[in-house]
Amino acid sequence: MNKIKNYFSELSVLLKLNVREYGMFIALAVIMLIFSYYSGGLFVSPRNLSNLLNQTGYIAVLAVGMTLVIIIRHIDLSVGYVAGFVGAVAAIMMVQYGVPVGIVIVAVLLLGTLIGLWHGFLVAFMGLPAFVSTLAGMLIFRGALLQVTQGTGTIIIPNEFFNAISNGYIPDIVKVPGVHVLTLVLGLAGVGFFIYSEFKTRKNKLKYNFKVISMSMLLTKLVFVSSIILLITYILATYNGISWTVVIMLVTVGIYQFITNKTVIGRHIYAVGGNPEAAELSGISVKKITLLVFASMGFLSAVSGILFASRLRSATVTAGVLFELDAIAAAYVGGVSAKGGIGKVTGSIIGAIVMASLSSGMNLIGMDISIQYIVRGLVLIVAVVFDVRTRNKK
């Protein structure tokens, strides 16, 4: 009896301490439950979940880049139109000039990076506030998008490889009707890796006499997270399996997570965000870091542009509209501090899924688009207020 009591008291302490981190998951769970209820289970149907993740893709990669931009105390408003413009350039290269798709992808990724460098240059070396330079960028690339699509209007992309990026699924290893085996295998592998890394971290912490959570708490966490991963992979496996979009999303997060957590560059980024003067005096070039972060944002805008054009199988005049706001919202919902210096790319991905679930759910239950905007705005406010409140407490 006492043991159970201890267990729950530790659980509640843990939840309270990490309310910011777990709050996001709780919010996601609540949103999913509400919409499942009101849509009669349609929301958690394999088809809808699969679609939901595919729709999250092009915002999620932007949110990853935006996380770093906000960490170093800046903002990038241009990313939506840059994504739209880059998508249009890709379409034109393929359709009008017949450039091979591989070259097209490399070229537009480069183009996006250059655009990011340009914004970074204005911010770091010309001293423009990021708000202004990227607001100008927003106008410029909106104009550029209109310019290149002026003659043709919507450009249909006939290239199958390109369109598969956002519409295709990973192939299966064996044919079993009704289930995607490779997806299940990957899900299991993911769970295995998660459990392994948790134990490894714990072992390391114990080695240095750091505080660790009790074994029963760790097991609770492992069971909880593993079952969520398994549930999602199972649902996806009964549909078409994991899509290429999800693969790209996971790879992007993986790389950025590694860079921000394990490398010198990542540490420098957090240092610049945490205290630019102290960073500069520690021998870090704030200008170079700024340039780099904006370049990465440009690169990811291009990735987003490719994903979106591929998803629509075409480049349209309105591609990229309001992406920047979704990405910024995702980052804030995902726990990036508005004051800079704090935030995780993994959080922003969850933030992106929260925002996408909200849109998707509201669409599903037939809510009017006008109300949808208002709800999304309110959710953003609630998320940031929650963030500020829980941080000030400490």
Partner 1 sequence: MSNILEMRNITKDFPGVRALDDVSFLVKEGEIHCLVGENGAGKSTLMKILSGVYRKGEYQGDIVLSGEVMNFHGIRDSERMGIGIIHQELALIPELSVYENMYLGHEIKRGSFIDWNETITQSVEFLRKVNLAVEPEEKVKNLGVGKQQLVEIAKALSKDLKLLILDEPTAALNEEESDNLLKLLTELKSHGVTSIMISHKLKEVISIADTVTVLRDGKTICSLSKEKNEINTQVIIKNMVGREISDVFPKRPIKEAGSVALEVKNLNAFNRELGRDIIKDASFRVKKGEVVGIAGLMGAGRTELALSLFGNPLQYVVSGEILIEGKKVSLSSPKSAIEAGLAYVTEDRKGNGLILIQDIKQNITLANLREISKNSIIDANQEINVANEYKQSINIKTPSVEQKVQNLSGGNQQKVSLSKWLFTLPKILILDEPTRGIDVGAKFEIYTIINTLVDEGLSIILISSELPEVMGMSDRIYVMNQGRIAGEVEAKTATAEQIMELATD
Question: Rule CB under 8 A: which residues touch partner 1?
Answer: 204, 208-211, 262-265, 267-268, 270-271, 274-275, 277-285, 341-342
Which residue(s) pair with 243 in the sheet?
169
**CA distances (Å), 169 to each of 59, 149, 188, 248, 262, in order?**
19, 30, 18, 11, 31
Residue 267 or 313 having the CB closest to partner 1 = 267
Going by the DSSP 8-state scheme, the letter that residue 151 receives in this structure is T
CB of 375 to partner 1, least distance (A): 32
CB of 177 to partner 1, least distance (A): 45
Residue 97 or 208 having the CB closest to partner 1 = 208
Residue 223 or 278 having the CB closest to partner 1 = 278
**CA distances (Å), 288 to each of 64, 140, 182, 264, 282, in order?**
19, 24, 42, 13, 14
**CA distances (Å), 211 to each of 50, 55, 167, in order?**
39, 40, 45
CB of 74 to partner 1, least distance (A): 17
Residue 1 or 281 having the CB closest to partner 1 = 281
Which residue(s) pair with 315 in the sheet?
155
CA–CA separation, 269 vs 345, rounded Å? 13
CB of 302 to partner 1, least distance (A): 24
Residue 237 or 284 having the CB closest to partner 1 = 284
CB of 327 to partner 1, least distance (A): 23
Q: Are 72 and 267 in contact (CB under 8 A)?
A: no
CA–CA separation, 234 vs 218, rounded Å? 24
Residue 335 or 361 having the CB closest to partner 1 = 335
Ranges of beta strands (E only) in 56-159 are 155-156
3-state SS class at 58: helix
CB of 14 to partner 1, least distance (A): 17
